[in-house]
Structure 1
Amino acid sequence: MGKLSLPACRPGMTATCTVTCTAAVQGRALQRACGDCCNLPPSRSPVCTRRGSGIPIGDTSKNAMQFPIVQKLKLIVLCLLAEGIYYILALVPVVPFTLLSAIFYPPTTALLIGATLFLVVVWAIQPDPIDDRDAITVAPGSVLHQWVHALSAAVDGGRIHRIVLTDEVNASAYVSPGFMGLGARRTLRIGLPLLQCLSSHEVKAVVAHELGHFSRQHNRAGHWVYRVRYKWGIYLLAHRSDADGFIQSAQKLVARWFIPYFLRQSSAWSHQCEYEADACAQRAGLAGSLIDALVKVELHQHIEQHVMQQDWVQWKLQSDSPPPNILETTLEHIQRYAAPAFAPMLAAAQARPTRLYDTHPRLQQRADHLCVTIEPPQWHGVCAGAEAFPNDWASIFQAHQAAWVGKHRDAWYFAHYRLRWLQAQADAHPNDVALQAVAMASLSTSTTAVDALRALVADHPANAYLNYELGCALLDNDDEDGIDHLQAAVRLNKKMAVPALRRISEYRLQSDCAQAIERSIRKLDAALRWTAAFFDRDLWSRFANEPLEPLPAAARGLFRDAVRANPRIDGCWVGSLPSRSIDGHQFKINLVVFRMDGSGELSPYHTEERMKAHMAHLLETVTRPDELTCVKAVFYTEPLNPRLLQNINKYPEVCIAQPLGAVNQNVIRIDVL
């Protein structure tokens, strides 16, 4: 039984994001610190006073902004309560086992067995909020180490035991306790993207801020609060399932009742910690550079998500994998769009609604607290990475860029085939106004195209597919009206419930309303249970005996291109059947069978479950949202049902890729030995 972990979440550039991914996003948001770069202009004073107060902003004494003692005590009590519930739930399977052990062993031995089992259960179910497995440890003696040591002395940040480079547009600092809480080690995490897009002054400001958390002794208490937020936040966002055991069900139930209140209380304390850490950066004379860094990070995210949409579409249409120089190209585009996007970014940052998982004050609030004027960023000079690693930066950055491409290859791959599918549909049906509008809204991503789709929906309000596509397009642009259209799509065609409610759930997770989050997840859970009932036990038997409908020609061609590119697949068939009817509803189910090579060592990307999910997601990109998909994998060493082979051979278009190897020859049936 291994420790619970979550996959890294995809950035905003990807087409879709699952609820599980959103849980990981929440974990990242809780880790988020700050970052960005620029020279400190002489006009910006590193120490200033509030108008009329006479108190230096850099002063971190009790006269500065403080989190009230009463609220601190309340937060500690809430943390203890949350942790207590967690450990009580972990005790549930331990107590009966300990009592059973007492029947066969002396009481002391039974208690020892119970205590050991309790520690194992706690370790197994405890999420690890910080995963540094892919981080690069910086060797001592680097220029970056020199910066950190000098800044640590300036802000009284203490000794830093380890510096690591990550792939996040982020920086953070944390304390990892040693065995039995002894020998704690301080780690500073710096994102390679920050070293790429910030200047040395800005990175130093970010580092000074992070070291300020150590200086202000936020580390142990803050990390404790953060861990509680993270692990309970996972259960708040998780789906309920019939496969959940008692502990998982209880954790999810408690999380949805109790944790939203705790998150709001801890967010207020986290905001105060950020102000105090900002003041430490100001004490080091880097207040202006810190705000410049934050501006660049906000601008970076804003441009990627809202300005570069058409660029992403063009790049994804051109290839099913990201260009090898994607990060360099992205930064060039961000610098090109920075000037016109600056004012819209500030307006969007100011208007951004409060979210349940917010841990940082808004950009303007932090600038006001430091008495620093927000100005357009400057992009001149060499990047901080080239100065921090004068001899190794090129190789470090190229390795980071290659890792980024590998990490986001799947999301890019699915987006590529989805866009090609929409383009093929539009080309094949030039007179279909609805298809043209849907394709243009996704392919052009312009406001005009979305407005045209909105007008078409107004003319055809009873069209569920148009409502669904408009709802998705509006939510992609952070327009909450998209929820109304997705709900309308479900009312008009219940078979669209799962994809529509999934999009609503993903959007709701960004809000501050725990009730809305809970309601959206509950509805999605119900829709998933409803659709699962249509996959009856006789489905595969019917696939081997009943007439099959092939995919449409365009979808078949795209699916064939994708399958042929995978060297692990030898043979693939896709046929469609109508599901059984339940309460007057009947789905079209697309069934996929593919043979895979299981010889040799399988990478994490080529396990059976991973490849089945990959094939299902791929097929969903070239089919309608009111259809279902079911996938079966067969290894070379497994037999294919002769009746299935006979049936699929009756319908040649069902075959996506002919097997190159022999079928049902030299096969060993393990189950008959």
Structure 2
Amino acid sequence: MASTRAHRDLARRLEEQAVRAPRAYLARLALLAALGYGLLLALLAIAFGLPLLMLWHALVNGAGGGPHLAYAVLLPLVFGAVLLRALWIRLGVPEGYVLGPGEAPALQQEVERLRRASGAPPLHGIVIDGELNAAAASVPRALGLLGHRHYLVLGLPLMQLFDREELAAVIAHEFGHFGAGHGRFGGWIYRVRMSWYRVLDGLAGSGFMFSRLLFKFYEWYVPYFNAYSFALARRHEYQADAAAVAAVGPEAAASALIRLELGARRLHGRFWPRLFERARAQGHPPAGVHAPLVEALRADAPADLERVLEAAARDTDPDDTHPTLPQRLAAIAAAPHLRRRGPAAAPALLGATLLAEIERGLDGYWRERHRAQWRERYEAAAPERARLAALEGAGAPTAQEQLEHARLVEALRVDFDAEPLYARLIDAHPDSAMAHYRAGVLALRRGDAALGGARLRRAVALDAGAVRPVLADLETLAGDPDLDAACAETVQALRDELAPAAAELAARDAAAADDELLPHGLDAAALAALAGALAAQPRVARAWLVRKRIEMAEAQAHFVLLLDWRGPVAGEEAGLRQLVAALSLPGSFTAFTGSNERVLARRVRALCGAPVYRKGTR
């Protein structure tokens, strides 16, 4: 699979090509998509045509049936069924509350006005869901041969975050997709991509060795095709933003983009994490989610727009087809300004009665959707709740028990400030790196920049390995639009200070073809423990182990573990994650299969010689 950086570079080059020669770009994309479908159709023809040819040959030549012929006929038919199922992607009406005829007339009239102004095709319905989002959904009829049904999906949180003018900008944006035919062509592109993923998933569970051959093509085709379709989707987003500007002007369109960015950061950075943390101590999901969600969204805390734009520019997801917020504002030539917001659009457009009904329905849907996951989290935290009760019932705790108690309080009691617990521990045991680390993060969250920065610097000084979790929390804090200005400065200063140490750790714990490798140096007991752990992994046939040379003599050892993976290639990545979590070595380690690191694999095998583990031997 292509790396994230390679994918991003390819997508950027293709975006530039799409701007320079849009017709040629679309033609190449269509041909590339046809190649994906063409191979699948050719495989289908072989899978179903070969058994018919064998049966015809047997009938014409009078050959007997027998089990061999039955097996030869059945095997390609099963393979063909897997491919056929992958091609048949059923897309139905989007989930949510579908407005009936005559319901919410104010909303229907506003939507129809914007639809006519944009030249978009008629809608088959308006769907209200619980997401902070909106979408233009084109549902194909008979694989698109009989046209499409078009639905406008509006998230109720979005309708309660925006006033009517900002909501109009979002609706016009979605109609910009409809009007330009983005849904139809984009839907076909989506089905091609989904077909390949489903083919590989189906083959991974089927036991076909042919999956390895398909994966070779998949390894080249899908990243390249994704990058091509990524560039198209980016282009569509810019065109849809232009439609929003044409409908409401650049000020309202820009304000809607900024307010949506702020709302998403508030939900993903604070609201949802804190809500799901409650599952560790509360056995059932909350009765109502929508009301507190809207309250969090509409909190008019002052936000530093310059810092929000900087964070949005950094937070680039290679799989997200939406351009970054600064890119979108630049494309519509709008200043980063948050206009004064009017009354929320939802009450006026839906009416109080329907709004309350939709809220109740969405709350019920959310509870049912998350009930099992919530219960699993609650049950998984039972040992932690029991341990917290035991610690609070015991007297004269040790330093380790004090630290454990503070960690458990922080994890299980969301509304309780655990910082004083860490502070008391630091007073008694000033060399606890973990206490300094957690106390520092909590201090920054409540707005104490000086204390938070000092605590985190002390944590890293006491334990160099703390740089990773500290930077992870700093990354989360940097994306918080409501973070105090002084704390934001401290967070950025710490990130700059700790970046070199983090890069050094990352380089130490990686493995590359040009690294200097040494014999592993483990004794028989350690090798036996490793073999025992690998024996519990049914997909691993053999393993070779070496050690990477580290410049610092006192540094922890880093091992490089090469695995002979015998499972389906499509499931290799997930299987490796599970294996790494189950293994333990006296140091850090990198585990790989050699499928993308052939040079390194050859060097590891040459240095190690005989495998340190072979399936069936311990």
> Aligned to 1:254, what secondary structure does the other structure show?
helix
CA drift of 1:84 comes to 2.0
Alignment correspondent of 1:306: 269
Deviations 1:612-662 (A, max 9, x none): xxxxxxxxxxxxxxxxxxxxxxxxxxxxxxxxxxxxxxxxxxxxxxxxxxx
Alignment correspondent of 2:320: 358
Alignment correspondent of 1:138: 99
Deviations 1:155-188 (A, max 9, x none): 1112222322333322222433333702432222
In the alignment, does 2:35 pair up with 1:72? no
**More helix by percentage:** 2
* Structure 1 contact 471–485 (Cα < 8 Å) conserved: no
CA separation of 1:380/1:454 partners in 2, compared to 1, >3 Å: closer, same or farther? same
| 2:256 equivalent among 280, 293, 296 | 293
Alignment correspondent of 1:218: 182
| 1:96 equivalent among 28, 37, 50 | 50
Q: How does 1:334-483 map to 2 (within 5 A)?
A: 334-336=297-299, 338-340=301-303, 344-353=307-316, 355-376=317-338, 378=340, 380-384=342-346, 386-389=348-351, 391-417=353-379, 421-422=383-384, 425=387, 428=391, 431-432=399-400, 435=404, 439=408, 442=411, 448=441, 459=462
> Aligned to 2:248, what secondary structure does the other structure show?
coil
Find the aligned partners of 1:82 and 1:150 in 2 and give their Cα distance.
40
Deviations 1:452-502 (A, max 9, x none): 79966875679xxx999879868877999599689969999979999xxxx
* Structure 1 contact 208–284 (Cα < 8 Å) conserved: yes
CA drift of 1:363 comes to 1.4
* Structure 1 contact 212–276 (Cα < 8 Å) conserved: yes
RMSD of aligned Cα (Å): 5.0
Find the aligned partners of 1:131 and 1:257 in 2 and give their Cα distance.
31
CA separation of 1:233/1:340 partners in 2, compared to 1, >3 Å: closer, same or farther? farther
CA drift of 1:409 comes to 2.5
| 1:525 equivalent among 575, 579, 582 | 575
Q: Which has the larger Rg? A: 2
Find the aligned partners of 1:393 and 1:192 in 2 and give their Cα distance.
9
Letter in structure 2 aligned against 1:69: R
> Aligned to 1:211, what secondary structure does the other structure show?
helix
| 2:40 equivalent among 86, 101, 122 | 86
Alignment correspondent of 1:209: 173
Find the aligned partners of 2:461 and 2:221 in 1 and give their Cα distance.
42
Q: How does 1:494-533 map to 2 (within 5 A)?
A: 522=572, 524-526=574-576, 528=578
* Structure 2 contact 98–127 (Cα < 8 Å) conserved: yes
CA separation of 1:411/1:300 partners in 2, compared to 1, >3 Å: closer, same or farther? farther
CA drift of 1:248 comes to 5.3
CA drift of 1:302 comes to 0.9
| 2:86 equivalent among 122, 125, 137 | 125
Find the aligned partners of 1:234 and 1:349 in 2 and give their Cα distance.
33
Alignment correspondent of 2:123: 160
In the alignment, does 2:268 pair up with 1:268? no
> Aligned to 1:408, what secondary structure does the other structure show?
helix
> Aligned to 1:186, what secondary structure does the other structure show?
strand
> Aligned to 1:172, what secondary structure does the other structure show?
strand
Find the aligned partners of 1:453 and 1:86 in 2 and give their Cα distance.
55
Letter in structure 2 aligned against 1:80: A
CA drift of 1:403 comes to 0.7
Letter in structure 1 aligned against 2:185: A
Letter in structure 2 aligned against 1:214: F
CA separation of 1:294/1:410 partners in 2, compared to 1, >3 Å: closer, same or farther? farther
* Structure 1 contact 206–293 (Cα < 8 Å) conserved: yes
Find the aligned partners of 2:135 and 2:161 in 1 and give their Cα distance.
17
* Structure 1 contact 430–436 (Cα < 8 Å) conserved: no
In the alignment, does 2:309 pair up with 1:332? no
Alignment correspondent of 1:41: none
Deviations 1:70-129 (A, max 9, x none): 32222222211222233334445323333234347799xxxxx99999996555223748
CA separation of 1:469/1:487 partners in 2, compared to 1, >3 Å: closer, same or farther? farther
CA drift of 1:419 comes to 5.7
CA separation of 1:287/1:67 partners in 2, compared to 1, >3 Å: closer, same or farther? farther
- The TM-score with structure 2 as length reference comes to 0.59
Find the aligned partners of 1:91 and 1:304 in 2 and give their Cα distance.
49
Identical-residue share of aligned pairs (%): 23
CA separation of 1:274/1:282 partners in 2, compared to 1, >3 Å: closer, same or farther? same
Deviations 1:265-324 (A, max 9, x none): 221221111111222222223543333332232222211222447743664455223321
- The TM-score with structure 1 as length reference comes to 0.54
Deviations 1:372-405 (A, max 9, x none): 2232365541332551355412101210121112
CA separation of 1:467/1:85 partners in 2, compared to 1, >3 Å: closer, same or farther? farther
Letter in structure 1 aligned against 2:138: V
Mean Cα displacement is larger for which, 392-401 or 481-490? 481-490
In the alignment, does 2:152 pair up with 1:188? yes
Letter in structure 1 aligned against 2:269: H
Q: How does 1:229-244 map to 2 (within 5 A)?
A: 229-232=193-196, 244=207
> Aligned to 1:206, what secondary structure does the other structure show?
helix
CA separation of 1:383/1:401 partners in 2, compared to 1, >3 Å: closer, same or farther? farther
> Aligned to 1:176, what secondary structure does the other structure show?
strand
* Structure 1 contact 178–185 (Cα < 8 Å) conserved: yes
Deviations 1:244-277 (A, max 9, x none): 4356555554333321122222212211111112
Letter in structure 2 aligned against 1:137: V
CA drift of 1:328 comes to 1.0
> Aligned to 2:287, what secondary structure does the other structure show?
coil
* Structure 2 contact 129–153 (Cα < 8 Å) conserved: yes
